[in-house]
Amino acid sequence: MRKINFIDLQAQYRAYENEIDSAIKNVCKEARFIMGPQVLELEKKLEQFTGSPNAITCSSGTDALLLALMACDVGSGDEVITTPFTFIATAEVISFLGAIPVFVDIDETAYNIDPTKIEEKITERTKAIIPVSLYGQPADMDEINILAEKHNIYVIEDACQSFGSEYKGNKSCNISTLSCTSFFPSKPLGCYGDGGAIFTTDNEMAEKIRSLRVHGQTKRYHHKYIGLNGRLDTIQAAILNVKMDHFEDEISKRHKIAAKYSEKLKNLDGLVVPFVKEDRTSVFAQFSVRVKDRETVVAKLKEAGIPTAIHYPKPLHLQEAYADLGYKKGDFPISEIVSEEILSLPMSPFLSDEDQDYIIETMKSFYNA
């Protein structure tokens, strides 16, 4: 039986093996493991790529979100608006700081926060909005930025899945004052462990975040803020520097693979392929379709050697950890229905033509097509 990887990180390593090995070896030889020159080199590359004036690498996507909220002085009693249809990290950091996540349902076409439902949730305590650019497609940033400006609140794009995508000609990570991405191995740009970055168009904010990342210090052993240890390892930066050089090429492969999936699966009755709005692109961190009777489809695909994943099976307002927020089933109906039908298929720039054809044919056979 065919054995297909959900995300083929081994094939990616084989493709860049020599470059990656030598980059890691250099770090070992130089022994500047913390904030070595490769970290600065990566930050410059990230700035160049996104067009953002400030890229600040850090220890994970979660810490990127935490640092961004800390930079906005989000704390006890503050409210932060976000989507319930995301990975828990988006909301977790809000709660971690003693603030309250206030959920707003998603738009049924692209699965991102519905901007028309945000304003009614804004109160005097609202400090920020965190739209998530889910599956790699930027959220409706213009509408959100306008609302935020009107009410004087911050916008932090959770771009953990969308690094490399575009919105009206600008790169994700450079379409709001603050933005956060993740270099978790399976993200579009992944390292070999945990990593992340914060982007900001505000130079003062950037300085504060750089300080918060290293225990709030302004110079060694002089601490202006209460911060944390949130740096990116030099070894991870060195690996990312290699991967950045191949990233444009990987993005076009992602587009090609996603276009083929969509083209071949779009007419199957009862299956919904991803919808990307006209003024933006997706990097397809996930290629997620909607199916009826998901359990059966998952089981049949598994039988055929095709792994799948569910992003995400339970919206945040229904999670046990958030029981005390007092939400109930029915509060965010679109998030709820999508979470019951969504299904991610194998997706990576290294998915071979043959494997993709096999996945498509297998899917079609369930629909007698």
Ligand X SMILES: *Cc1c(COP(=O)(O)O)cnc(C)c1O
Q: Which residues bind ligand X (CB under 6 A)?
A: 60-62, 86-87, 89-90, 132, 158, 160-161, 182, 184, 194, 196
Q: Which is nearer to ligand X, 122 or 130 (CB)?
A: 130
Nearer to ligand X, 156 or 257 (CB): 156
DSSP state of 118: T
For residues 84 and 70, what is the distance between their CA atoms, to the nearest angstrom?
21
Q: How far is the CB of 63 from ligand X (least distance, A)?
A: 7
User: To the nearest whole angstrom, how small is the minimum distance from the Cβ of residue 278 to ligand X?
Assistant: 23
CB of 33 to ligand X, least distance (A): 20
Minimum distance between the CB of residue 132 and ligand X, rounded to whole angstroms? 5
Residue 183: CB minimum distance to ligand X, A: 7
Q: Which is nearer to ligand X, 251 or 363 (CB)?
A: 251
User: Is the Cβ of residue 60 or residue 282 nearer to ligand X in the bound state?
Assistant: 60
The Cα–Cα gap between 68 and 209 comes to 7
Query: Which amino acid appears at position 297 of this protein?
Result: V
We find the least distance from the C-beta atom of residue 368 to ligand X, in angstroms, to be: 35
Residue closer to ligand X by CB (options 145, 344) is: 344
Q: How far is the CB of 161 from ligand X (least distance, A)?
A: 5
Report the b/e string of 159-193 with b at 16+ CB within 10 A: bbbbbbbbbeeebbbbbbbbbbbbbbeebbbbbbe
- The helix (H) or strand (E) run that includes residue 363 is helix 353-366
DSSP 183-248: --TTSSS--SS--EEEEES-HHHHHHHHHHHBTTEEETTEESS---B-PPBHHHHHHHHHHHHHHH
**3 state DSSP class of 102:** strand
Count other Cβ atoms within 10 Å, centred on residue 70.
24
Q: Show Cβ contacts of residue 85 under 8 Å, excluding neighbours closer than 6 positions.
A: 106, 111, 132, 134, 312, 315, 316, 332, 334, 335, 338, 339
Q: In terms of CB distance, is 42 or 297 closer to ligand X? A: 42
- The pairing of strands 100-103 and 79-82 is parallel
| Identity of the residue, 82 or 200, whose beta carbon is nearer to ligand X in the bound complex | 82
Q: Which is nearer to ligand X, 160 or 309 (CB)?
A: 160
Least distance in angstroms from the C-beta of 93 to ligand X: 9
CB of residue 95 to ligand X, shortest distance in Å: 14
- In 3D space, the residue among 230, 133, 141, 245 whose CA is nearest the CA of residue 189 turns out to be 245
Say how far apart CA 206 and CA 212 lie, in whole Å: 10
> Which residue number has the CB closest to ligand X?
61
Report which of 246, 258, 233 is spatially closest to residue 14, judged by C-alpha positions. Answer: 246
Q: Which is nearer to ligand X, 162 or 241 (CB)?
A: 162
CA distance 286 to 313: 14
